[in-house]
Amino acid sequence: MVLLYILGSVLVVSLVSLVGIFTLLIKHKYLDKIIFTLVSFAMGSLLGAAFLDLLPESFEASGHLDFAFVLFGILLFFIVEKFLFWYHCHKDNCEVHTFSYMSLIGDAIHNFMDGMIIATAFITNISLGIVTTIAIIMHEIPQELGDFGILCHGGFTKKKALFYNFLSALTAFLGAIIVCIFSVQCESAVHIILPFAAGGFIYIACTDLMPELGKELNAKRSFYQLTLMFLGIGVIWIARMLFR
């Protein structure tokens, strides 16, 4: 049953990579508003999952919480982002296709880790798995929209961009399967993997999403951001209560 939950959740997360197809149906000005909404909500859901679920669950499972693993998660996600995921070409020496392929490689690694995190969460308990999946999905939607734009800008046709984006998303299955194969070891390593995942969520929320939202100076839109952020936290909290 747990395996079905894991594979189903990873499949849903992987299918999010196809969200780029909706850019063909939505006008650009409305797309910006949608991404603005999703990013605000995603930041709240990631922070909520980290502080309300992953870290408390790690403490409950092992009786202690080693913040060194939280730090390791933050640093590892930084390394992935620094050298792969947000790879930038030099100002006067840029091959756009190289940029696109590097983005795909980084995305594949990122999705691989997502698959590991989802599987570990479900192995710990179903409630944590569901909440973690929700948080990842809410982060993946705006991210995948951005990835689709990068690939199209890099010279891919829209069909190829969707295909390769989906292909890179499938590495989540590999991460999940590896965790399932070594499930016994993973159960005993919950106090390592869950704080690591929390560190990754905190990094994404605070370094990728929060700075973007911080650029908004309009008071009304800033209030809207805060409302959506707290809504994201609330959804995680409610999901946690419903599936305990």
Residue 19 lies in a domain: no
Does this model's pTM top 0.75? no
Q: What is the mean pLDDT of residues 25-30?
A: 64
Average pLDDT, the chain: 79
Residue 88 — pLDDT band, cuts 50, 70, 90? very low
Cβ distance 179 to 116 under 8 Å? Answer: yes
Residue 32 lies in a domain: yes
DSSP string, 135-179: HHHHHHHHHHHHHHHHHHHTT--HHHHHHHHHHHHTHHHHHHHHH
Domain count, the chain: 1
Question: What distance in Å separates the CA atoms of residue 80 and residue 85, rounded to the nearest whole number?
Answer: 6
Residue 103 lies in a domain: yes
Residue 5 lies in a domain: no
Residue 152 lies in a domain: yes
Residue 55 lies in a domain: yes
Whether pLDDT at 26 is above 70: no
Residue 59 lies in a domain: yes
The whole-number pLDDT of residue 91 equals: 44
- Domain containing 130 equals 28-242
Candidates 173, 195, 177; CA nearest to 64 is: 195
Residue 6 lies in a domain: no
Whether pLDDT at 224 is above 90: no
Bridge partners of 93, per DSSP, are 90
pLDDT in tens, 117-175: 899 889 888 888 998 899 888 878 777 776 676 677 667 777 888 888 888 889 999 98
Candidates 124, 152, 138, 129; CA nearest to 205 is: 138
